[in-house]
Amino acid sequence: MPGEVFLEEILVKNNQDSIIKNFKLNQNTNYFASSLLDIHQDIQEQMRKIDNRLLRGIDKRLKLEEVKEVLSNQKYTLEYYENHPLVNRFSFAQDYWGVYNGKIGQTTSIPITIISDFKGKPSVYGGADKKANFEYGVIGNLKKINYPTGGFLSIEYEADQYFMEESQEDNIILNTVTYTTRDTQPYIDFNVKDLKIFNTGLDFTGDNDDGSGIEKIGNCKLSIIDKSTNQNIYTTPYRYTIGESPFLTNIDLKDKSFRMSIQKGQDPLTWEPVECFASFSWNENDYINIPEHNEKIGTLRVKNITLDDSYSNKISRNYEYTNPETTKESGVLYGENRFRAFYTSYFTKGNSETGGKQRVITNNPGWQTNTINGKSVIYKYVTETYKNLKKESENYTKLSTFNNSGCSTRFDGYGTSNFIYPICNEAFLQGKTEEEILKNNANTKVRQTIYDYNEDRFLNKFSSSALPNHSGIEYGLDITKISDEYGFVLAKFDYAFFSIDNTWIQNTRTTTTDYFPNGSIVTTTENHYSPTYKHLYPTSVITKNSKGETLTTEYQYPPDLVSDYEQSEIMQEMVKRNMIATPVITKSINELTVLSEQRTLYKYFPGTSGNLILPEFVYAKKGKNTTVNDRKITYNSYDAKGNLTQYTLENGIPVAIIWGYGGQYPVAKIEGSTFANATSKLANYLTKIQSGTLTVAEQSTIRTLIPDAMLTSYTYKPLIGVTSITGPNGQSEFYNYDSSNRLQSIVNEKNEVIKTFEYNYKQP
């Protein structure tokens, strides 16, 4: 599409500006193309009026078919579900969730809806079929990823489902009775059911009318007789209309029988008989009782993921979402299934008595503001069944339970209206893991893990847009265009505020029970957080085991040490630089006995962009007191990028580190030498050491240059891993990687295998 932009290439460069990865994305060779335009003529006309170019490309969507890493010539290809072509992006063939449902040719996006105007007259509006259809809804979703190794990953989907309680649903039936004087029978009888009746209409005209709008005849007599009273319900027997459908009000049709007939008229000029035609119509609303059932919607969920390595090694993960104790789906619907397309709101303006009511018709289902991370259905239970066809001992089943407490609704009373759908204020609280139960391949429970949480809203009050006693940290605004009918409008748009809430979700406790043939072991871990909200990291972690022991680890971070501490000024600067995630002091306690304490002191070191704050000393000791005698490590020097170049252990032995590959990786560790001494003696080989280009002979030579030290050297393949390690004795190990850049084997100088590696899905 001319003028459009899309991602074609991703380059990864090192700090020497050399390309080390080059990914090519092929997503415009073949599009998701729409064979049918299926766009309403009114929309086409409006788009042409704005800019005719808007119609260009609406029948195409980008399709990512291939990702190729050019330097290694590794190619990943992607396949999609394409049993049917997609329709264009403006088609009305959408279900309630905006997903394609195959109902092409629709003239509206509004579902069939009963609307009463301000005079109380009901009518039927819309008529779009919004039912979900998985056959079409799955189109365009990822089906398969083919790997460079020849293996592949395939994904199977199914429709999202939730359990629907017993309910009623509108079933609107349009009934029409027609009669003409040309019929052989002098009348026609019809019955109206004992249901809600509305939209009563009548067409009555000459059946030879040419459509010109000029009345040529008009003296036929129509009778619609209520057979129970023998009265004509139509009080204007000589009415003649052309192309109109007047609504008959104040007529009771419910549960009655009628007889319709027409007496021929005469042409006032020729006195010849005139044939006439009448069509009487009404709508019935028959409420259908729907029993409780598992209801499918338009969005999708994963049913199965299969990984095949092309060597007959196949691993599959199957997912079920039902309550394990029933056959009911555990899904809960957020947002409305049958969204309301129409509502009437009442409003007042200012302090005056001016006010009114307005009718709003919308095709916005509202579920977008009620989703949980984009999903309108979330599940209480998910069961994962893992199967390895070659290693059945690894098979397991994991049942995960999630919180699903539903949404509260809060409206802004100062807006001109409220939404026709609820706003889910606490969507962010849903979906937390509450429990995991793991069973082995014999279906025996081996582990249970329970998670507890705390929802802390304290920090919300510091938001600039927060209100008193209000947990919202921001506001959204819904704007709806309104129109007038039988009255006036005071504004062109209606609005209502809704809060965007948030909270600090803390994992306060994790209880793990491991089951064995002879009993079980319970371990409880509690996380405690700063009561003064200086940071969001645990200040202590308390673990209780089955022996009754209580092990506590306490943490202090820079925000905890900005005052009354020997390095308070540096701690304050670290907070300013947001260097707050690493504990400065860590203390381990068993009951009341301090087992150990570790403390890190920091110092300013010169860097490329100003002074760097980096560790200088690490102290570690049992007991409460820490003195210079407890020093375990001294960090002597760093380079301008903050890479450690020398440290000294508590025994006084210095260790130098040389960095290479543009400062990305350590290429040499010299134990027993200072950094200055090492770089001086290795000066002639320093460039080769840093680039990983030493020969075998040079590897031996550099070790003779520092005979009193132990030198270990390293080479790398950037962004993949170490390729060789040569120890102080001059012996080397070489590291080999597979086509997916995973470590495959370690061999010695004779190419003898020291160790091999295989990869499987991680077991829980």
- Domain definitions of the chain by residue range: 93-169+290-501, 172-286, 530-643, 653-764
Closest CA to 146 of 157, 156, 155: 155
Element (H, E) at 702: helix 696-705
φ/ψ of 429, rounded to 5, equals -85, -15
- Determine the pLDDT at residue 347: 55
The first and second tokens of residue 437, run together, are 């139960």
Q: How many CB atoms lie within 10 A of CB 707?
A: 9
Per residue in 247-292, pLDDT tens? 555 678 889 999 999 888 777 677 778 788 888 888 888 888 889 9
Give this prediction's pTM.
Answer: 0.76
The first and second tokens of residue 438, run together, are 């793991």
HSE-CB of 218 using CA atoms within 13 angstroms: 10
- Determine the pLDDT at residue 162: 92
- Determine the pLDDT at residue 558: 98
CA 731 to chain centroid: 52
The angle subtended at Cα 461 by Cα 459 and Cα 465, nearest 5°, is 125
Q: How many CB atoms lie within 10 A of CB 372?
A: 22
Give CA–CA dist 383/317, Å, rounded: 10
Is residue 683 classed as helix, strand or coil in its secondary structure? helix
Do residues 567 and 601 lie in contact, with contact meaning Cβ atoms separated by under 8 Å? Answer: yes
Do residues 345 and 418 lie in contact, with contact meaning Cβ atoms separated by under 8 Å? Answer: yes
Give CA–CA dist 376/337, Å, rounded: 9
- Determine the pLDDT at residue 468: 47
Which residues, other chains included, contact 347 with Cβ-Cβ below 8 Å and sequence gap of 6+? 355, 356, 357, 358, 416, 417
Name the DSSP class of 35: S
HSE-CB of 376 using CA atoms within 13 angstroms: 26
Distances (CA, A) of 131 to 13, 138, 164, 339: 50, 14, 16, 12
The first and second tokens of residue 462, run together, are 């510091």
What's the CATH code, domain 172-286?
2.60.120
Low-confidence ranges of the chain (pLDDT < 70): 1-3, 15-16, 36-37, 42, 46-47, 49-54, 116-122, 206-219, 235-250, 268, 335-370, 406-425, 462-500, 608, 623-629, 760-764
- Determine the pLDDT at residue 421: 53
